[in-house]
Structure formats: C-alpha cells, structure tokens
A = this chain, B = another copy of it.
C-alpha cells in the first residue's frame, strides 16, 4: 500500500495502476517505459500546466470544435490513464474516438474499446484496414474514422505516425511531454503537458470559447513558439537545479 502522505503519492498510485493495466494486457510493457520517460519531462516542467501549455490547450479546443471531422486517437496508455477525460472531451467536442495501437492485437483493441465504453465513450469501431503509409501496426485504422479526419488529436503518440498523418494533410494535435520528440516537432500543434491535466483543459475551453476566439486561436497556431516556451521553462528549471 502506498501511504497517502507520501510526497509522490499521486505519481506512485498512477504507476501502480499502469502496472495493473500492463498485467491485464491493456498497457503494453513498453508503455510502462514510455510512461517513465514522460515522468522525467513532467518533472522538468514542474508537474503543472504552464501558460504556454494552456494556450496550446485552448488552441486545441478551437481546432477540434472548428473541424469537419475531428478524431481522437486512443492507445493503451491513454485509455488506462484518462478514459473518463476522453469521454468528457468527446461530449464537449463531438469528436470521433478510435483506438489505434502500436502493439496491436484484436484482443487488445477489444479490451481497450470496452474500457473506454465503460467510462462513457462512444467508440468508433468495426472493420479496420491498413490505410496509413507505415510499416507497423499503427497503419491499421478505419476508413471513416482516422483515415478521413481533418483534425486529429493524438495523445502519447509515436513519431512515425505523427509524421504520416501530417503528410496526409491532417491537422495533427499532439499531447507530448517531450518538446524535442519527433511527434512534438512534426505536429501542427503540440501540448507539452501531462495527459490528465491537458484533457480537462481542452474540454473546459470547448465550452468557453466564443466563435471569435475560436477563429483567432485556430488562425494563429505557432507551434515553434509553443515548443520554445516549453523548452525555456525546462531550461530555467534545470539550470537552477543545483542552487
């Protein structure tokens, strides 16, 4: 048992939860490693939503609610960490939610879809085809889901697919704690924030933004600025670490 007064209680509870999900097959073992990687970057941004991340989150909301066919792509870690937050964002944005996995088996897809449905998500399911120009299993998606999206939110993405989606002229919104990753740098808009902090902020903004704010935000996306701000915050924190 993790004592609730432990200074890293929340982080330890999340790790334990992810390990349980790994034992059940929802999270891949590699997903645990990816989570550890995120933890390190979250530590460097001080484990809170920065001003620039909040701007990115509001911009993401603007892009999602202005889209013709917005899609949220969900993998194992995202489902394990934030099914309810995905459900709330779906209600606020009207986005299609589709499961897409790197370590893909039909059984795992079904298991994750069930977990999402239990949390209130309306999951876009059915026959998948190998439609994306990728050599691995993330190529598999649905013709009327991810393949047809104009705006796609990809939390915890692998860089390869991020690039493929951008090359298909989709507007790609990434949630990635590493501002140097290929995903962060190739996405049209990158939110450098932890998933369970980022999703509720996007959901809130979906309900708050006026049509004019929406146009303004969607029309002035500057990912280089957002990434450089995230990096500036990490740099400041690192350089004072030994003080």
Contact = CB atoms under 8 A, between A and B. Distances in A.
What is the total number of copies of this protein in its complex? 2
Contacts of A15: 29-30, 33
A133 interface: no
B178 A43 contact: yes
Contacts of A35: 33, 36
Contact of A37 (B39, B179, B224): B39
A153 to B, nearest CB: 22
A11 to B, nearest CB: 9
A38 interface: yes
B238 A2 contact: no
A115 B23 CA distance: 24
25 contacts: A1-B136, A3-B135, A5-B135, A7-B160, A19-B28, A19-B30, A22-B29, A33-B33, A33-B35, A33-B36, A35-B36, A36-B38, A36-B39, A37-B37, A37-B39, A40-B40, A40-B41, A40-B178, A43-B180, A44-B180, A224-B242, A227-B242, A231-B238, A231-B239, A232-B239
Given A23-B29, A231-B242, A235-B239, 4 more contacts: A40-B41, A179-B241, A180-B238, A224-B242
